[in-house]
Amino acid sequence: MKTYKIIVLLAFLGLLWSCQEDEKVVLQQPDSFVLNVPKYASGIYDLKNTETIEFTTSQPNYGFTAAANYSVEVSLNQDFSEAVSLPGTYTTAKFNINAADLALALVGMLGITDENDYPTEPHPLYVRLSSELNAKHDGAVKSNIITLPKVKGYFALDPMVMPENMYIIGNVAGNWSWDGATKMVPVWGTPGKFWAIQYLGKTDGGDNAQIKFNSAKAWDGNEFGYANTEINVNGTADPATSDAGGNIGIGNPGWYIVVVTTTINGRSYEYAVDFYPPNVQLQGQTAGGNWDTSDEKYRFTVPALSIGADASFVSPAFTNTGEVRASIKLPGHEWWHTEFLVFDGIFVPRGAGGDQDRITGNAGQKLYINFTKNTGKIE
């Protein structure tokens, strides 16, 4: 009897396994799927006075219920020979696109660069969806094409945003190569403002330093120097700047804290470049317990110009054993807006980020920082 029961059980398990094999999910590749014509498609879509446009679709037949990712493609011609994909993806069969995104896309599709050239009359726009199941593009398929007969766009422009990076290039800052350019440090809490401690001594050939700036490491036409830049309006050092063929010439060789401040005026960036003395300060426990100090007693020594850029700033000996903190000091800012530390031999500024990890130094030790090589040590 026990043998019979075991045989029946094994037969049942085999049947169950066979059923599971028969029910194995297989991805089907659909030829298309349906994008529905919006309810108000016959009306005028005035993008300047509309926030969103609603679309609905039916899921492609993949052979099973799946979470599809839909993206919207638009074109000014029905053959979609110059289609543009709008930003964003959607995972539901009913969703809204941003009218401003569509307006921006139309400006590029029409090739309009002047507001006065933008067409004032509504025009047809062709729309279709693209669906796929994952980043590998499994199940990728296009929907049918629908027509929005009357779309009225406007001269939409991308919002101006502050640059996230800034670089110094020059005859002593990278030798006019962006590969060796100095990456400036963001000032905490002040988008578009950057600082760097920069060696602006003479070149090996005896020429005075010259510098320029850009938010990208490239000669892309956005670099700026002396022209149309506010030079040292707020700075307290005197680099004796001059126009050196469009570059900022430095008449008084030295080490400087260089600060770039960006403002947005309409559709343009405006820049101010200020120069400050290269004062680097210990802060807190290793500076006699003094915070936000600019006391010379806790100030780093500055390398001599005769040594050149390949030298370290050196702190005074730590007064106490405790947390090592250091910074520069900029007018209108707390000391920690421009603080920095050294981790595993690397100079690491706080920049726009959060509070840094803590490092303990012993009384009598010193902090060494090479701002050109971005290295440092405590010993």
- Average pLDDT over every residue of 182-189: 98
Instruction: Return the pLDDT at 351.
Output: 97
Beta bridge partners of 29: none
Q: Give the Cα separation of 277 and 235 in Å (integer).
A: 9
Q: In the numeric block, which tokens belong to residue 260?
A: 């770039």
Q: Give the Cα separation of 340 and 188 in Å (integer).
A: 11
226-261 confidence digits (pLDDT tens): 999 999 999 999 999 999 999 999 999 999 999 999
* Ranges of CATH 2.60.40.3620 domains, the chain: 167-276
Q: In the numeric block, which tokens belong to residue 208?
A: 């005075």
- CATH number for the domain formed by residue range(s) 44-152: 2.60.40.10
Give the pLDDT band (50/70/90) at residue 174: confident
Question: Class of 280-378 per CATH?
Answer: mainly beta
CATH of 167-276, one of 2.60.40.3620, 3.40.50.150, 2.102.10.10, 2.60.40.10: 2.60.40.3620
Instruction: Return the pLDDT at 266.
Output: 79
- Cα torsion through 225, 234, 182, 282, rounded to 10: 170
Q: Which residues contact 194 (CB under 8 A, 6 or more apart)?
A: 166, 184, 185, 186, 187, 259, 260
Least confident of 21-35, 313-327, 348-362: 21-35
Least confident of 129-138, 141-150, 325-334: 129-138
Beta bridge partners of 151: 45, 123
- Average pLDDT over every residue of 159-171: 95
Give the pLDDT band (50/70/90) at residue 25: low
Q: Is the pLDDT of residue 10 over 50?
A: no
Q: Is the pLDDT of residue 21 over 80?
A: no
Share of the chain above pLDDT 70, in %: 93
Give the pLDDT band (50/70/90) at residue 12: very low
206-215 confidence digits (pLDDT tens): 999 999 999 9
Identify the CA nearest to 75 among candidates 158, 154, 140, 146: 146
Edge to edge, the sheet with strand 230-231 lists 185-186, 193-200, 254-265, 268-276, 230-231
* Ranges of CATH 2.60.40.3610 domains, the chain: 280-378
Average pLDDT, the chain: 91
Give the pLDDT band (50/70/90) at residue 67: confident
Q: Give the Cα separation of 113 and 91 in Å (integer).
A: 34
Q: Say whether 280 sits in a helix, a strand or coil.
A: strand
106-136 confidence digits (pLDDT tens): 999 999 888 889 999 999 999 999 999 988 8
Instruction: Return the pLDDT at 14.
Output: 53
Q: Is the pLDDT of residue 18 over 90?
A: no
* Ranges of CATH 2.60.40.10 domains, the chain: 44-152
